[in-house]
Amino acid sequence: MKRLHLYLILAVLTTCAAFAEAQPRMEESPLGCARRVFPMGQDWKIFALPEQVTVLRCSRKEPEYRSLHQYCVVKDDGSQTRLVHTYAVKKADDQFARFELKGNEVLAYHANGALLARMHLWEKPPVRHSPAPEYVRLRFTGTGEGLILCEAENLTDYPVLLRPGSVKIVLPEGVRTAFSNLCVLLKEERLLAPRQKMSLQLRIHAKLTINPRGLMRRKQVELVYRARDDKPISHPEAIAPAAIFQSGLPDLGDKDRLRLCRLSDELAVVEGDWVSGHLGYQLDFYRLKQGAWQLVTRVEKTANPRFGVSAYECNGSRVRLLGFDESRIMDVTVP
């Protein structure tokens, strides 16, 4: 009798195993995976790509009432459905018309064919990001009465629209990267033809009209632009960048609120304002490894960022943050 019971148990187990192998794998749909990460997303759209890769887009609103398009890249690797990239942009800046899977990246294109974003698929932590495509190069050329003068060069074969916005002055010098406290504005939109160079006059927004002649003595002056016009893009056939950062920084998306700075050829920092719901600093440091930017450390410090960071001093793996009064905010050791 005991032997019969043993045979029955073995038969049941064998049948159950065979049944399990025959059943289709219980897998999560790409939409289900994306909705689990962004449950408040609305108006989902799905773009199917080869190799079981799917791009999904939803609308969402941030607490500060900025409307975003949130993109999710989901991949079915045969054993599970995984979220392998997220990318957010303001709705006013969203010009993605089509997507292409190329190697380990999803490329997003404008309707005119220009490459707008490169989404490096994440295999496992730490995540990696492609260098951002470059559309326009801004070159400092001089100063005038209440003006910063620069040349804008369209680096693409497509028209580029520069909307009204703000321009930040970055001053690299040796191991130090400083930021000017001048508020500089591009007052009127400018449309650049393919490969065109154009002279721009940027207005210094200050109570007193000044001529910052000291900038002319600098060996290197870099200009960082952010569009501030949320109106519909007046030339839909053109690329209308939300921001123009220093060359080659990681393509992180949501550029409206990110502050990116290149500290050296292989080191960059992304600065935020909030730490765990309190006023403070959040700093993400990225290293360029094998052609992609890799997040290597995150630092959070609760403090009063009344004036923010005015300069970084980068000596090897040690980075010092300085306030506008040259006081030390903190030192960070970057792996």
DSSP code for 223:
E
Q: How far apart are CA 230 and CA 218, in angstroms?
A: 34
Strands (E) in 50-114, as ranges, are 53-61, 67-76, 81-90, 98-102, 105-109
| pLDDT tens per residue, range 111-121 | 999 999 999 99
Omega prior to 126 cis, within 30 of 0: yes
What are the residues whose beta carbons fall under 8 Å from the beta carbon of 268, sequence distance 6 or more? 249, 250, 260, 261, 262, 285, 286, 288, 293
Averaged pLDDT, 148-159: 97
pLDDT level of residue 277 (50, 70, 90 thresholds): low
Alpha helices (runs of H) in 42-158, residue ranges in sequence order:
none
What is the share, in percent, of the chain residues with pLDDT greater than 70? 85
Per-residue pLDDT, 124: 83
Averaged pLDDT, 20-27: 37
DSSP code for 239:
B
The helix, strand and coil proportions of the chain, stated in percent and rounded to the nearest 5, come to: 10, 50, 40
Per-residue pLDDT, 246: 94
Query: What Rg do the C-alpha atoms of the chain give, in angstroms?
Result: 25
What number of other Cβ atoms are within 10 A of residue 226's Cβ? 20
Q: How far apart are CA 27 and CA 67, in angstroms?
A: 31
pLDDT value at 255 more than 80: no
Lowest average pLDDT, out of 27-36, 141-150, 205-214, 237-246, goes to: 205-214
Amino acid of residue 44: W
pLDDT level of residue 27 (50, 70, 90 thresholds): low
pTM of the model: 0.85
Beta bridge pairs of residue 292: 289
pLDDT value at 89 more than 60: yes
Average confidence score pLDDT of the chain: 86
Q: Which whole-number Å values give the CA distances from 269 to 22, 117, 263, 264, 276, in the listed order?
A: 50, 20, 7, 10, 19
Q: How many CA atoms lie within 13 A of 219 on its CB side?
A: 5
